[in-house]
Structures are given as C-alpha cells and as structure tokens.
Amino acid sequence: MNFTAAVKNCQLFFGIGEAELSVLLERLPARQKSFRKNRFVFTAGDKAGSVGIVLSGAVHVIHEDYWGRRKIVSRIDTGEIFGESFAPAGIERLPVSVQAVEATEILFLDIQKILRPDTTVSAFYQKLLGNLAILLAKKNTMLIRKLENVTQTTTREKLLSYLSDEARFAGKNTFDIPFNREELADYLSVERSAMSAELSRMRTAGLILYHKNHFQLLDRHKNY
C-alpha cells in the first residue's frame, strides 16, 4: 500500500519530496494497523522498537503505577508521532502504554532503521534524522509545560496553568481542549470530582466560562 499521501504532512518528513518519501517508507519499512476505541497500541513493558504515526484518530500515552492508577502523559493527534523518544535514549522496554482514544489508523516505522541510515539514500536520511531531533526537542518542551501544570500546589492553580497554556496555544481566550473531564483529571493528576467542583467555583468567581470541552478565560486581573 502507498502511504506517501497519508504521511507527507507529518513533521518527521518535512522537506522530503514525495518521490524520496516513497523510497524511505519502502526501506524502513512501513506497516499500517487499525485499532478500535480503547484498544491498546502498546502496553508498558513492550519492546521499544517502533515509531507510530497517527494517520487518523488519536491516542493517549498513559503511565500506570504498580497499583494501576493511571495518568495521561500526552495526547497524540492525527499527523503526530509517538514512540520516538525511547530507542534513541537506549530504553529497551516501554515505560508507558499507548491507547486509542477513538477508531484509529497507525503507520509503524522501524526506529532502528531510522537511527542506522541506509547509505544508498543517505541524503534522505539526514533530513529524517534532523526532523527527528526537532520533534524530540518539541516533545521535551511539551513535557516541561506539563510539569509546570501538574506541579502547581492546588487544583485551581493546576487548572489555571493548563488553561492559560491552551489559550496561548490557541492565540485567543476561547478554545477547545482535547480532553473530557475524566481525561483532564488524569492529565493534571487530580481527583475528578474535586476538579469538577473547582471548575464550578472558578465559573462562579468569574474566572472562566465553559461548556463541555469549550472554555473561555475571563478577566486576567482578578485575584485568583
């Protein structure tokens, strides 16, 4: 199957022409797989050998502790990649799981073949490795942002930190977030009912408006 059209806008392949991309996908090689909603793509402990590109749908990267308490590390949407951080760091087994948020199509690539370039197409691979380095840097920035969110002292401060980041990313004070209430609580490492109660108090205090996953930030000069 020709995957070129489906992945040509993925940042991993930025600056690589369609003809070059077809060669790369054939050499790596690429394989596609479908996942139903809530099915696991990877589970913690699996071998860290593949990069996944979300062709359609979305996945959550999830960490679970010994007692089964789960936290959402990140959401990966269509056109984005996951699994690129582990093999370059020498991690042999995945410390996280990846779960489909909805019906999802994923293209898998062999990370070891990306890290050990084919010398016959070395110019293509140099671009690929450069793009991979940029993606790793962006992933690190995203994790730093999340660390700032979850290390706030109170549930309100965590919510305000997260919502402020989302507003900056959207470039306006009205925006949609990619999580439902349960997922947002998992992402921010807070208890769901306490978070829902805090959201209600924040709305009463005139800090925010919201309906489902649509939010509006109000007067920034209020005393939070």
Global pTM reads 0.83
Is 224 inside any structural domain? Answer: no
Q: How many domains does the chain have?
A: 2
Closest by CA to 104, choosing from 167, 166, 60, is 60
If you search the block for the tokens 């010994």, which residue do you land on? 66
My answer on whether 141 and 175 are in the same domain is no
Domain end point (choices 128, 148, 168): 148
My answer on whether 191 and 142 are in the same domain is no
User: What is the tens place of the pLDDT at every residue in 74-106?
Assistant: 999 998 999 888 866 778 889 999 999 999 999
Q: How far apart are the first and last CA of the chain?
A: 54
Contacts of 39 (CB under 8 A, 6+ apart): 99, 100
Is 75 inside any structural domain? Answer: yes
Q: Which domain holds residue 75?
A: 4-148
User: What is the tens place of the pLDDT at every residue in 114-173?
Assistant: 777 665 556 677 788 888 889 889 888 988 999 999 999 999 999 999 999 999 999 999
- What pLDDT score does 111 carry? 76
My answer on whether 104 and 165 are in the same domain is no
My answer on whether 48 and 68 are in the same domain is yes
130: Cα within 13 Å, side-chain hemisphere = 10
pLDDT band at 183 (very low <50, low <70, confident <90, very high): very high
Residue 58: pLDDT over 70: yes
- What is the CATH classification number for the domain harbouring 199? 1.10.10.10
My answer on whether 115 and 183 are in the same domain is no
My answer on whether 128 and 190 are in the same domain is no
Does residue 224 contact residue 163 with C-beta atoms inside 8 Å?
no
- Start-end of H helices in the chain: 4-7, 18-27, 111-115, 122-150, 155-170, 181-188, 192-204
